[in-house]
Structure 1
Amino acid sequence: MPLPFLTADRAFDAADDVALPFDDRERWRRPYRPGPWRVGVAALVLLVASFVMLSAVVIALSGEMSAGAACLGVGVVVIAMALRLLRMGVWVSARGLRHTGFLITRTTPWAQVVSVRTVQQPVRWLGLPRTVQGQALLLVRRGRPQENVPPLLTTHGADFLGRVTAFDRAADTVEAWADEYGTR
């Protein structure tokens, strides 16, 4: 079963010299692959979910149907959390830029985007409170103050920790989408 949200389109591998290698630009796409940290954590969460689902079957077979159903519900929630973790990131299309978090998704139409730029600043290490010096991709919107705006991507996030070249490529691609569609 193909999972299209796990991988970026193969067009990036084939067309390194083209900034926007897509034919169908109306479809939401993540312009980079999820990083090993994100995929590893999701795999561990799915492993926990498999144990929870197995325990639901054992509990249900022992005759406690309500407890088995509750355990099954917990397993389904854990699987949904793992899938949401894999969907987190920045998505682009001709309609705008979408920043998907664990609980909240923010979509910004290109008409509201002033600029997308890479800056050197303290960034969170794997989303934890500890900060380190790194690069961040920032979105500047029309009519919105820039204080406390979370970065779209960072070099020390779950997708790019230890993959500076992948961060540069993803940041350049998002900036290219902003340059093409943000000026209209």
Structure 2
Amino acid sequence: CTVPWALVRVLEMETKHQAELAGARSEKEKLQRLVSRQSGTIEELEKSLLATSANTSLLQRQQLQLLESVQSLVRLVSQGRGEPGRDCAEVRRAGIHASGVYTLHIANLSEPKKAYCDMDTDRGGWTVIQLRVNGSLSFQRNWREYKQVCTLPGEEGEPWGHPTVTHPIAPPGFWGRGGRVLAG
């Protein structure tokens, strides 16, 4: 039995179309995998973009706070006061938030005095009038001895506040309210 030429041609064309169809299906599967990978990459990039945007917003807020602090300090310096405040609470309100020794312009004193400001304990702004370092100094003294041995933070011995400095910054009734002992 002979197969007519036209039928052979149709079978050849069908085989060719089947091969092309298989190739197209294979290409479609490759493209689907590529689209899937790219979709995953896009999702990761979107998450990264959101995180970066949040970080940028935080940095912008911090930059604004820093700028406000610098502007406050510039105003204070332009007024002729290198460091702000009659006490450490005023220093903190002026935008300084680092604990350390600051020059205070205490009422009724002609010269500014240095004092240690604790900006960490209980939201900060504390003027430290007694800072124990090693416990070597006895506080059992009379008034005259007390006035003679007082030192400022950073000097030799146990630093503690001088009565001529601590009295003007203490509000009325301060001594009767108690205090807190902080180990240095």
TM (norm. structure 1) is: 0.23
More strand by share: 1
More helix by share: 2
Give the number of the structure with larger relative contact order, counting CA–CA contacts within 8 Å between residues 6 or more apart: 1
